[in-house]
Chain A
Amino acid sequence: MKYFLRRILWLIFAIFVALTINFILPRLMPGDPATILIQRLEGLEPSAIEAVRTAFGLETDKNIVIQYWDYLVNLAHGDLGISISHYPTPVWDVLKKALPWTIGLMGLSTIFSFVIGTFIGIGIAWKRKSKISDAILGLFLFIRSFPYFWFGLILVYFLAFNNPFFPLGGAHSTRLMPSDGWAYFKSVLYHGFLPGLTITISSMGYWILTIRNNMINVLAEDYITVAKAKGLSASRIRNLYAAKNAILPSISGFAMALGFVIGGSLLTEMVFSYPGVGFMLFQAVQQQDYPLLQAIFLFIILGVLFSNFIADIVIMLLDPRVRDGGSR
């Protein structure tokens, strides 16, 4: 119970820190979004300039504490400002459309990657002497050295362009709408396959390596020898004695791993023109759409914090020592 409370408090605190950094960052950097937009929409009257400034919440004459308060209040109302590249659409509306695609693509891919990767990792650690294990290890070390986006490019090239097995981009066929039901859904899966494959394969290497390392350490422990002496079956030893212990540090490190996966997914979306948050980020960068940029950044951090929190809960469920308030 104490562990759980501690985790929630940390979560709340971290969210606050993230919000504050998000507030401070643009005010530290040179240039501001209002000026850029103004330059873009050439020749505005001073009053219009002021209006734009207000719209972006950048009235420099207001006290910084008041600005901060306004910022928090606005956030609570879901007001993240107005997007420059999609002017005059509010940032939140832009994000609302993109988020589901990213969560779906990244979420599913990460789950697949973790599950498959962990299985493979446990397997090659258990049968450490075999040549197949070495080969698999070598293969993933190799794959892991490549940038995600390049990998995506290759896949697109071979599987979508040269041989049109899969579509070149987009989240679904432009001719279909959600109201088309099953056909729409199939199209979504079809379009999501290559980007999903890219993310899954590129990030799988990390899970495989981590769990293999953990397994090797666990297998050197005395309780494994005892289990063998007791005459237990190989699968029982591997699963309940070795893997169950080896997986714990993996989950702990989930947060950091997630950072990599997020970065990779963003790039993958860019390569595949998949209309998720990553693609929006790409456009935001190119068009210097700072409000959108910041909002996306904020969401990413929030996403990581939540995933972290969930990982902590999972550990609590799996590791009895943590449940009893031990430190990790």
Chain B
Amino acid sequence: MIKDMLKLFISNKKALTGVIILIFFLTIAIFAPIIAPYGPKQSRDESGKFELRAEPSLKHPLGTSHAGYDLFSRLIYGTRLSLGVGISTGIITTFIALTLGLFSGYYGGVIDEIISFINNIFLVIPSLPLVIVVASYITIKGVLPIILVLSLTGWAWGTRVIRSQVLSVREREFVKVAEVLGEKPLIIVFREIFPNIISLVMATFFTSTIAAVIGEATLEFIGLGNLSTVTWGTMLYWAQNNAALLYNAWWWFLPPGLFIGLLGTSFALMNFAIDEISNPKIRKR
């Protein structure tokens, strides 16, 4: 069944485009040292110190920052953390949502009441303000706190959606049959219910990941993240704080945002394709 789904996925134009873009970014992230002409915090080379706030040139395709760092290299290197933080957060969030959604939906009763209650509270609270508040109380060293903060504030939507689906799958016949046959609940959960919610889990993953990428960038932009790291978000922070706009330095703030958008589009496309594949009503044929 998984092989069929993969085949369908790849033949879908939207999915294919999304995957290609993702591979593009993964390549950049993995091969950063080879692709980037300079190090991310390199402010000089053999010919001397780099010019500060330089305009794009052959030597510095995207110019340099206020500290003389080559912006093109920073963009390349930034991909690593942006993608890394995004995907790790996505995985953690999806895992939380999956676990809570599965157990809450399948077991019902008190467990469900408690989890749903907490879930509803987190759903109602807008994520950005919550992230800001929590992040402003903690001083952030390294990227782990960022991942944690984003995960802990982002699991709500996925949990609710997965729980709904589990509830409806649970009522279907093959699950009832398994129950009557006396299979242990845990086995039912993993063998009967799980395969039927995979597309939803994938969708949750994509949504969470891109939300995390944007979330990380936002945190950095406001100045709440870890500004000593190099990510697309920190680039935007420095751009804003050095009045890149006023200095007409479009090469500073345009590319990082563009990359975020491109990655987001890739995920949106893949998400869309999964929707089309799993929901026959949306499929055109």
How far, in Å, is A13 (CB) from chain B's closest CB? 11
- Minimum distance in angstroms from B61 CB to a CB of chain A: 20
B135: nearest residue on chain A (CB-CB)? A285
Among B127, B138, B224, B268: residue with most chain A CB under 10 A? B268
Chain B's nearest CB lies how many Å from the CB of A302?
A: 11
Choose among A17, A154, A264 the residue with the greatest number of B CB atoms under 10 Å from its CB: A154
Q: Which residue of A lies closest to B283 (CB)?
A: A216
Of the stretches B98-106, B107-115, B176-184, B253-261, the one at the interface is: B253-261
A147 to B260, CA, bound (A): 8
Contacts of A150 in B (CB 8 A): 217, 236, 253, 256-257, 260-261
Contact: A25 with B133, CB < 8 Å?
yes
Nearest Cβ on chain B to A76's Cβ, whole angstroms: 23
B31 within 8 A of A: no
Within 8 A of B (CB), among A114-160: 128-129, 141-142, 144-147, 149-151, 153-154, 156-157
Is residue A242 within 8 Å, beta carbon to beta carbon, of the partner chain?
Answer: no
**Stretch in A54-62, A187-195, A254-262 touching the partner:** A254-262
- Whole-angstrom distance between the alpha carbons of A210 and B160 in the complex? 17
B2 contact set on A, CB distance < 8 A = none
* Chain B residues within 8 Å of A144, by CB: 264, 268
Contact of B125 among A145, A149, A220, A301 (CB under 8 A): A301
- Whether A262 contacts B128 in the complex (CB less than 8 A), given A145-B263, A147-B260, A150-B253, comes out as yes
A308 at the interface (CB under 8 A from B): yes
Is B265 an interface residue when CB atoms closer than 8 A count as contact?
Answer: yes
- Segment with Cβ contacts to B, from A79-87, A92-100, A292-300, A313-321: A292-300
Q: Tell whether B157 is near chain A: CB-to-CB under 8 Å.
A: yes
Residues of B227-258 whose CB lies within 8 A of A: 236, 240, 245-246, 248, 250, 253-254, 256-257
List A contacts of B127 (CB < 8 A).
259-260, 263
In the complex, B68 has a CB within 8 A of chain A = no
Give the nearest-CB partner of B253 in chain A.
A153
| Chain A residues positioned under 8 Å from B263 (CB to CB) | 145
- State whether B137 touches A29 (Cβ < 8 A): yes
A263–B136 CA distance with the chains assembled, in angstroms: 16
For A305, the chain B residues whose CB sits under 8 A away are: 124
A21–B125 CA distance with the chains assembled, in angstroms: 11
* A65 CA / B245 CA spacing, docked (Å): 51
Bound together, the chains give a CA A255 to CA B126 distance in angstroms of 9
Q: Which residue of A lies closest to B265 (CB)?
A: A145
Q: Is B210 an interface residue (CB 8 A)?
A: yes
Is A232 positioned at the interface, with any CB of B under 8 Å from its CB?
no
CB-CB under 8 A from A286, the residues of chain B are: 223
Cβ-defined contact, A266 with B265, below 8 A: no
State whether the Cβ of B167 lies closer than 8 Å to any Cβ in chain A. no
The CA-CA distance from A29 to B85 in the complex, in Å, is: 24
With A142-B265, A153-B245: A296-B129 Cβ-Cβ less than 8 Å:
yes
What is the minimal beta-carbon distance from A44 to any residue of chain B, in angstroms?
23
The answer, yes or no, to whether A52 is at the interface (CB within 8 Å) is no
A17 CB to nearest B CB, Å: 7
Q: What is the CB-to-nearest-CB distance from A159 to chain B, in angstroms, rounded to a whole number?
A: 12
The answer to whether A263 and B129 have CB atoms under 8 Å apart is yes
List residues of A whose CB falls within 8 A of some B CB: 14, 17, 25-26, 29-31, 128-129, 141-142, 144-147, 149-151, 153-154, 156-157, 161-162, 213, 216-217, 220, 255-256, 258-260, 262-264, 266-267, 270-271, 281-282, 285-286, 288, 293-294, 296-297, 300-301, 304-305, 308
Closest 4 CB pairs of A and B: A145-B264, A263-B128, A150-B257, A259-B126
Which B residues form the contact surface with A (CB < 8 A)? Answer: 121, 123-130, 132-133, 136-138, 157, 210, 214, 217-218, 221-224, 236, 240, 245-246, 248, 250, 253-254, 256-257, 260-265, 267-269, 272, 281-282, 284
Sample of 7 further A-B pairs with CB below 8 A, known A149-B221, A150-B236, A213-B282: A31-B137, A144-B264, A151-B257, A216-B282, A259-B123, A267-B221, A297-B129
